[in-house]
């Protein structure tokens, strides 16, 4: 078998009539803040080692894996403890994570590793509750049968025009004797509508949504502004642990107070841009996006070469064993569904670290500061730091210790500094003009043809099989013009046929410097 030619050996020198050197040095399409390495070493050893093992087996981006692990910790801890940052400043330990990543980054595989204990625990709860649920269903059947009897008696009395006060009184008494459905813990949700989620919270006020589609929030692009506003407000209340009220037209309204909700969502950047293009005012004006710990890691696709997975994953097994012990502590819920948590306070050393972090962030979000453009996010960073510290402390020390130490707080502030850096990157990426994004799409399409397919990109290729958004001539011409302004593309006429005629076809090329950028990005 003959060797496949390496992309580096491919050249358009003859086809473009030695145009090299006749164009100016390419200029980047955007100036963006570079990604900082995830501060993995700041994490406690068990969490760090579990993330290492997940990376080795799944080869997903480090920040995505870390978000999955921390989401699992938040899900297990949030029903047990709340955090008191200072006198009069307290709230849940729940965390919201949002990871921007393309489909295929293996979030589901990663989540399956870190949510294993949660899923097994849920099954145990359902199995243990079978006798209780059987008794409840039997009681409901008996209650319903008697109810139908009262209804029939009332109907018969009405038809005969006889007094029915005694029957009505008995019916009212029977209504008060309706069996109460047992509260069986149901913690993990992959995807659920906001309406259904509100109902589930009424049944059990502790929940975690882990989704690689983020449909509960960002799949609502077709909704009217009122519906979007209602859904975003609902999730804000969930983060706050406040009072959630949701009216239903056909059945009784939902009322839940003091719930605890963790979100671990992944969304494709284009999907998020589409949502924000229609709802940016609502998403930022309501403080919804500010509640998230956002990350946009570089993709690992193209570098995930096959390797045999080592037998056993002791760190992940130990991680899940600890999650299981936390879940077994079980949140305390009274007969009315109200959750009771233990409040964690900050040790003097932890309090000092938190106050220092608070003050630095406050100074930096002022005019001219690094957080000026993300004031909404930065304003909630101290709260999120305290939540992170509470989660890490409880995960490492288990249940019982009610004072967060300085080590947990130091780790939390380091992580929050990284997430603030990501928030700046996220804010810049979401503000990229459409014409620049179209130009990036075109450049990637051309690079794919040149470097992977070893072919000459013709303008007709773009019109016929290019990205859908670029099949429109106006947008395509705009993308070409943008690339041309940045010296990242050139055109030439290529003879067609056997060379005897004068027929030509219009072709597009990328300078060698641009191709080198794509080779590096794709590790070719």
CATH number assigned to the domain comprising residue 232: 3.40.50
198 and 276 both lie in a single domain: yes
Could you tell me whether strands 243-246 and 206-211 are parallel, antiparallel, or unpaired per DSSP bridges? unpaired
Whether 240 is covered by a domain: the verdict is yes
Give the pLDDT confidence score for residue 499 in this predicted structure.
54
Q: Which tops the pLDDT comparison, 16 or 335?
A: 335
Whether 62 is covered by a domain: the verdict is yes
Select from 151, 176, 201 the last residue of a domain: 176
Residues whose CB is less than 8 angstroms from the CB of residue 237 and which lie 6 or more positions away in sequence, other chains included = 243, 244
| pLDDT, tens only, 51-70 | 999 998 888 889 999 999 99
Whether 112 is covered by a domain: the verdict is no
Mean predicted confidence (pLDDT) in 45-52? 96
381 and 253 both lie in a single domain: yes
Give the pLDDT confidence score for residue 16 in this predicted structure.
44
Give the pLDDT confidence score for residue 7 in this predicted structure.
32
Could you tell me whether strands 254-257 and 89-92 are parallel, antiparallel, or unpaired per DSSP bridges? unpaired
Select from 430, 450, 482 the last residue of a domain: 430
268 and 158 both lie in a single domain: no
Give the pLDDT confidence score for residue 435 in this predicted structure.
83
Whether 246 is covered by a domain: the verdict is yes
DSSP secondary-structure letter at 309?
Answer: P
Give the pLDDT confidence score for residue 14 in this predicted structure.
39
Mean predicted confidence (pLDDT) in 499-523? 83
Angle at 179 (CA atoms; ends 177, 180), nearest 5 degrees: 120
DSSP string, 367-397: TTSTTGGGHHHHHHHHHHHHHHHHHHHHHHH
- Alpha-carbon span 31 to 243, nearest angstrom: 43
Closest CA to 13 of 486, 519, 511: 511
Give the pLDDT confidence score for residue 421 in this predicted structure.
93
The pLDDT > 70 percentage for the chain reads 88
Q: Is 80 exceeded by the pLDDT of residue 217?
A: no
DSSP string, 408-457: HHHHHHHHHHHHHHHHHHHHHHHT--HHHHHHHHHHHHHHIIIIIS--PP
- As given in the structure block, the two tokens for residue 304 are 């995930």
Mean predicted confidence (pLDDT) in 339-354? 95
218 and 299 both lie in a single domain: yes
| pLDDT, tens only, 231-254 | 888 899 999 998 888 776 555 677
Give the pLDDT confidence score for residue 226 in this predicted structure.
75
Mean predicted confidence (pLDDT) in 153-158? 82
Q: Is 90 exceeded by the pLDDT of residue 357?
A: yes
Tell me which residue range forms the domain holding 88: 44-105+185-303+311-430
26 and 60 both lie in a single domain: no
Whether 295 is covered by a domain: the verdict is yes
Select from 147, 176, 205 the last residue of a domain: 176
Closest CA to 443 of 472, 470, 403, 407: 470
Give the pLDDT confidence score for residue 62 in this predicted structure.
92
Give the pLDDT confidence score for residue 19 in this predicted structure.
43
Q: Is 50 exceeded by the pLDDT of residue 125?
A: yes
Q: Which tops the pLDDT comparison, 302 or 433?
A: 433
220 and 326 both lie in a single domain: yes
Side-chain half-sphere CA neighbours of 12 within 13 A: 25
Give the pLDDT confidence score for residue 219 in this predicted structure.
61
Considering its fold, how many domains does the chain have in total? 3
SS3 state at 25: coil
Which residue matches tokens 């050996």? 9
Mean predicted confidence (pLDDT) in 364-388? 92
Confidence label for 400 from pLDDT (cuts 50, 70 and 90): confident
Confidence label for 128 from pLDDT (cuts 50, 70 and 90): confident
Per the prediction, the chain carries an average pLDDT of 84
324 and 416 both lie in a single domain: yes
Q: 121 vs 85, 118, 125, 188, 339, CA distance in Å?
A: 31, 5, 6, 10, 19
Asked whether 212 and 104 are in contact (CB, 8 A), the reply is: no
Give the pLDDT confidence score for residue 279 in this predicted structure.
74
Whether 122 is covered by a domain: the verdict is no
Whether 370 is covered by a domain: the verdict is yes
Whether 114 is covered by a domain: the verdict is no
Give the pLDDT confidence score for residue 391 in this predicted structure.
97
297 and 331 both lie in a single domain: yes
Q: Which residues pair with 91 in a beta bridge?
A: 83
Confidence label for 403 from pLDDT (cuts 50, 70 and 90): very high
Which residue matches tokens 């100016």? 24
477 and 392 both lie in a single domain: no
Cα 297 to chain centroid distance, Å, stands at 13
25 and 53 both lie in a single domain: no
364 and 392 both lie in a single domain: yes
478 and 518 both lie in a single domain: yes
């Amino acid at each position: 078998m003959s060797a496949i030619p390496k992309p580096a050996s491919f050249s358009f020198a003859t086809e473009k009539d030695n145009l090299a050197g006749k164009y100016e040095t390419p200029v980047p399409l955007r100036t963006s803040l570079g990604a900082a390495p995830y501060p993995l070493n700041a994490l406690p050893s068990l969490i760090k080692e579990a993330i290492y093992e997940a990376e080795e087996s799944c080869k997903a981006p480090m920040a995505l894996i870390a978000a999955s692990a921390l989401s699992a910790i938040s899900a297990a801890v949030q029903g047990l403890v709340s955090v008191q940052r200072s006198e009069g400043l307290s709230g849940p330990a729940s965390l919201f994570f949002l990871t921007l990543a393309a489909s295929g980054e293996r979030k589901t595989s990663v989540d399956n590793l870190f949510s294993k204990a949660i899923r097994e625990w849920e099954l145990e709860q359902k199995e243990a509750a079978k006798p209780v649920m059987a008794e409840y269903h039997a009681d409901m059947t008996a209650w319903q049968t008697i109810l139908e009897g009262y209804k029939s008696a009332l109907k018969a009395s009405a038809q005969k025009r006889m007094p029915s006060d005694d029957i009505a009184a008995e019916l009212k008494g029977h209504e008060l004797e309706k069996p109460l459905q047992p509260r069986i813990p149901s913690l993990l949700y992959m995807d659920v509508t906001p309406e259904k989620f509100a109902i589930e919270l009424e049944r059990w006020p502790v929940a975690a949504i882990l989704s690689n589609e983020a449909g509960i929030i960002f799949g609502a692009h077709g909704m009217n502004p009122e519906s979007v506003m209602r859904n975003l407000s609902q999730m804000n209340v969930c983060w706050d642990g406040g009072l959630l009220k949701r009216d239903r037209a056909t059945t009784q309204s939902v009322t839940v107070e003091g719930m605890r909700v963790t979100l671990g969502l992944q969304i494709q950047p284009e999907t998020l841009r589409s949502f924000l293009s229609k709802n940016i005012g609502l998403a930022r004006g309501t403080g919804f996006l500010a509640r998230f710990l956002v990350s946009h890691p570089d993709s690992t696709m193209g570098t995930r070469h096959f390797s045999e997975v080592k037998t056993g994953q002791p760190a992940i097994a130990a991680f899940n064993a600890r999650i299981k012990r936390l879940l077994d502590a079980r949140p305390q819920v009274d007969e009315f569904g109200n959750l009771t948590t233990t409040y964690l306070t900050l040790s003097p050393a932890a309090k000092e670290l938190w106050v220092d972090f608070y003050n630095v962030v406050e100074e930096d979000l002022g005019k001219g500061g690094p957080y000026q453009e993300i004031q909404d996010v930065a304003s909630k960073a101290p709260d999120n730091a305290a939540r992170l510290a509470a989660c890490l402390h409880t995960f490492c020390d288990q249940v019982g210790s009610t004072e967060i130490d300085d080590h947990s707080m130091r780790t939390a502030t380091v992580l929050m500094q990284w997430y603030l850096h990501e928030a700046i990157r996220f804010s810049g990426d979401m503000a990229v003009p459409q014409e620049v994004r179209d130009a990036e799409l075109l450049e990637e399409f051309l690079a794919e043809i040149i470097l992977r397919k070893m072919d000459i990109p013709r303008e007709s290729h773009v019109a016929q099989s290019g990205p859908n958004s670029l099949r429109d001539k106006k947008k395509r011409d705009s993308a070409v013009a943008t690339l041309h302004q940045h010296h990242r593309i050139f055109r030439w006429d290529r003879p067609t046929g056997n060379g005897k005629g004068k027929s030509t076809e219009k072709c597009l090329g990328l300078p060698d410097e641009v191709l080198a950028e794509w080779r590096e990005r794709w590790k070719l």
